[in-house]
């Protein structure tokens, strides 16, 4: 009789240990998933441009980088094609003044 009780007790303890191990594994998986979710949200927050007031920027980072690349390319072309500094500066100033107009015409008015 005592051997039977000992065997049943051992089975109960083994089942309890399995249950506890499964609960620990589930909790660790839940914590890891929460950590991954926080990391994803932080990465998304870093990618989405925000204004200091907390609102979103009108243009995405890629659009702003594209506009800057075009401005730099026009400046380099002005340096290469024109000998006069007054013409080079005039081209650069004209580019800087025309950038918002061209950006709005090409990219549209963003209402993000």
The pair phi, psi for residue 111, each rounded to 5°, is -120, 45
Q: Specify if 52 maps to a domain.
A: no
Q: Specify if 56 maps to a domain.
A: no
Query: Residue 104 pLDDT > 70, yes or no?
Result: yes
How far apart are alpha carbons 30 and 6 in whole angstroms?
A: 36
From the CA atom positions of the chain, what is the Rg in Å? 32
* 66, 96: one domain: yes
* 38, 65: one domain: no
Q: Where are the alpha helices (DSSP H) in 1-112?
A: 2-47, 61-81, 85-107
Which tokens hold the place of 58? 């009108």
Q: What is the pLDDT of residues 75-96, one digit of tens each?
A: 999 999 999 999 999 999 999 9
Q: Which domain holds residue 91?
A: 61-107
Q: How many domains are there within the chain?
A: 2
Q: What is the pLDDT of residues 21-67, one digit of tens each?
A: 999 999 999 999 999 999 998 888 887 766 666 555 677 778 888 88
Q: Specify if 19 maps to a domain.
A: yes
* 2, 26: one domain: yes
pTM for the complete prediction?
0.46
Taking the mean position of all CA atoms in its chain, how far away is CA 79? 36
Q: Specify if 55 maps to a domain.
A: no
Q: Specify if 10 maps to a domain.
A: yes
Q: Specify if 15 maps to a domain.
A: yes
């Amino acid at each position: 009789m005592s051997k039977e009780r000992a065997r049943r007790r051992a089975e109960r303890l083994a089942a309890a240990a399995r249950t506890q191990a499964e609960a620990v594994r589930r909790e660790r998986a839940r914590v890891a998933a929460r950590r991954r979710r926080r990391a994803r949200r932080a990465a998304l927050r870093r990618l989405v441009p925000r204004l200091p007031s907390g609102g979103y920027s009108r243009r995405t980072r890629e659009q702003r980088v594209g506009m800057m690349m075009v401005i730099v390319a026009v400046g380099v072309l002005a340096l290469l094609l024109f000998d006069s500094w007054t013409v080079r500066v005039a081209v650069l100033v004209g580019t800087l003044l025309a950038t918002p107009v061209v950006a709005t015409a090409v990219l549209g008015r963003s209402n993000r």
